[in-house]
């Protein structure tokens, strides 16, 4: 299973929300439109490598993108391509160029109900601090996934899902992780806006060292879950799941265990300008150097639209990761907070500032650290 991560996301969430609010177009016809977006960011990262006593540095990044999308249709299509350039003032060895593209399909769209068919294909390169290894690491991620209703009989639906994923952590010290997952859920919906059911997922994974001659680690996981999604109340919507998974590992070492798995993405809108989001997750996964991580994370965020173009967001987060081979050899506890503010000048030109703080306490002193990242961003849609 893919690992839940705790990262500072205030500016990213704001940018995505604003893109949905106002999509300019370079070209359009009655069914299709092509839009562009460019953002420039400057900031300071106090601990580039997320380690005890790690160096800090100023940085700047520039990210242009193009987005082709289908307009006002029950079938949603969105294809986006981008490149992200990041440069540091002193630590120039951490400079990075990260391209990517993503294509998504969903049906139905632009209606007040859950999506019954959804698919995504993407390839991305991302360079960021990796708290597992205490370095900035580039990873190339190739993914294809599908989830949709495959059988419907009145109030009962059978949902199927398929995921194929490859994460290649670039560098001889790291691994390439291949994952294939097949699952299903049987749901019951009493009213057409909420449904719940039981699910089963089979996941096969392999973590192969990039250096030749080293043994791979194979994973077979079977997860049994209870799931619910849709409108829990008129003001609370989202998805939740909880269950247990049996994981068996063979290859470079052998281990097997039962563990709890869970996920939640829930939004509460007590009043229209205010949104409170809860995201939580627990799952085992491979980390960059091929060991097993069992991660638990919780993020609580509050987003307030102040009107006249002003938008603020604050969040707190916490989590624990245990790093395992045959037994647990390291445990990390992490906590953090962030705040960001945005101003929309024209519907096309926006500016934002933000600051995120994290503290990790590990039983291996190298991975105990404090870190803050302060940023300012200007973005333009065209």
CATH number for the domain harbouring residue 156:
2.40.160
Looking at the chain, the whole-number percentage of residues with pLDDT higher than 70 is: 92
* Phi, psi angle pair for 73, to nearest 5°: -130, 150
pLDDT at res. 279 = 98
Gap between the Cα atoms of 90 and 58, Å rounded: 8
Return the SS3 of 229.
Answer: strand
pLDDT above 70 for 161: yes
Query: Into how many domains does the chain fold?
Result: 1
pLDDT at 364 exceeding the cut of 50: yes
Of 27-31, 55-59, 137-141, 184-188, the least confident = 27-31
Q: What is the DSSP letter of 12?
A: H
Distances (CA, A) of 13 to 7, 302, 346, 371: 12, 12, 19, 20
CA distance linking residue 245 with residue 217, whole number of Å: 18
207 vs 139: CA distance, rounded Å: 14
How large is the C-alpha radius of gyration of the chain?
A: 21
Residue 352 lies in a domain: yes
Range of the domain at 316: 10-381
Q: What is the mean pLDDT of residues 219-237?
A: 96
Beta partners for 174? none
Residue 266 placed within a domain: yes
Q: Which of 5-9, 27-31, 37-41, 331-335 has the lowest mean pLDDT?
A: 5-9
DSSP conformation class of 53: T
Q: Which residues pair with 158 in a beta bridge?
A: 151, 186
Output the average pLDDT for the chain.
92
Q: What is the pLDDT of residue 112?
A: 67
Query: Is 181 in contact with 214 (CB distance < 8 Å)?
Result: no
Rounded to an integer, the average pLDDT of 36-62 is 97
> What's the pLDDT at 325?
87
| Domain presence at residue 52 | yes
Q: Is the pLDDT of residue 167 over 80?
A: yes
Answer whether residue 4 is part of any domain. Answer: no
Burial (0-12, 13-18, 19+ Cβ within 10 Å), 123: middle
pLDDT tens per residue across span 255-299: 999 999 999 999 999 998 999 999 999 999 999 998 999 999 999
Q: What is the pLDDT, as a whole number, of residue 116?
A: 86
161 in any annotated domain? yes
Residue 1 lies in a domain: no
Over 50: is that where the pLDDT of 1 sits? Answer: no
pLDDT tens digits, residue range 288-340?
998 999 999 999 999 999 998 999 999 999 999 999 988 889 999 999 999 99
pLDDT-derived band at 82 (thresholds 50, 70, 90) equals: very high
Q: What is the C-alpha to C-alpha distance for residues 226 and 245, in angstroms, rounded to an integer?
A: 12
pLDDT of residue 99: 98
88-146: per-residue pLDDT in tens?
999 999 999 999 999 999 998 866 667 789 999 999 999 999 999 999 999 999 999 99
Q: Is residue 3 part of a domain?
A: no
Residue 164 within any structural domain of the chain: yes
Length of the chain: 382
Mean pLDDT value of segment 32-37: 95
The larger pLDDT score, comparing residue 191 to residue 205, is at 205
Burial of 297 (0-12, 13-18, 19+ CB in 10 A): buried
Q: From residue 193, how far is each of 230, 237, 270, 271, 272 by CA, in Å?
A: 6, 10, 19, 20, 20
């Amino acid at each position: 299973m893919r690992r839940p991560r705790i990262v500072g996301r205030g500016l990213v969430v704001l940018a995505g929300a604003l893109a949905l609010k106002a999509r300019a177009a370079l070209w359009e016809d009655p069914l299709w439109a092509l839009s562009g977006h460019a953002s420039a960011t400057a900031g300071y990262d106090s601990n580039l490598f997320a380690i005890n006593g790690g160096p800090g540095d100023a940085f700047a990044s520039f990210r242009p993108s193009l987005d082709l999308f289908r307009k006002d249709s029950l079938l949603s299509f969105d294809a986006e391509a981008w490149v992200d350039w990041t440069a540091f003032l002193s630590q120039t060895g951490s400079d990075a160029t990260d391209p990517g593209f993503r294509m998504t399909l969903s049906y139905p769209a632009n209606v007040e109900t859950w999506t019954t068919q959804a698919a995504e294909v993407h390839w991305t390169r991302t360079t960021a601090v990796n708290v597992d290894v205490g370095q900035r690491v580039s990873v190339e991620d190739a993914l294809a996934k599908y989830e949709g209703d495959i059988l419907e009989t009145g109030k009962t639906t059978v949902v199927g899902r398929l995921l194929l994923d490859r994460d290649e952590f670039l560098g001889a010290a790291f691994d390439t992780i291949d994952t294939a997952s097949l699952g299903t859920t049987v749901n019951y919906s009493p009213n057409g806006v909420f449904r719940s059911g039981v699910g089963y997922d089979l996941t096969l994974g392999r973590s192969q060292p990039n250096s030749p001659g080293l043994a791979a680690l194979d994973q077979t996981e079977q997860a049994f879950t209870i799931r619910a999604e849709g409108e829990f109340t008129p003001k609370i919507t989202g998805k939740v799941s909880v269950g247990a998974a049996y994981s068996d590992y063979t290859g470079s070492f052998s281990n097997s265990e039962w563990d709890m798995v869970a996920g939640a993405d829930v939004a509460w809108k007590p009043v229209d300008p205010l949104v409170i989001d809860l995201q939580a997750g627990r799952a085992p996964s491979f980390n960059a150097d091929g060991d097993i991580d069992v991660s638990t994370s919780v993020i609580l965020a509050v987003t307030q639209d102040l009107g006249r173009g002003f938008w603020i967001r604050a969040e707190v987060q916490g989590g624990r990761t245990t790093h395992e081979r045959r037994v647990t050899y390291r445990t990390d506890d992490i906590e953090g907070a962030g705040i960001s503010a945005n101003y929309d000048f024209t519907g096309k030109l926006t500016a934002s500032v933000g600051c995120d703080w994290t503290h990790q306490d590990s039983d291996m002193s190298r991975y105990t650290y404090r870190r803050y990242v302060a940023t300012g961003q200007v973005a333009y849609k065209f």
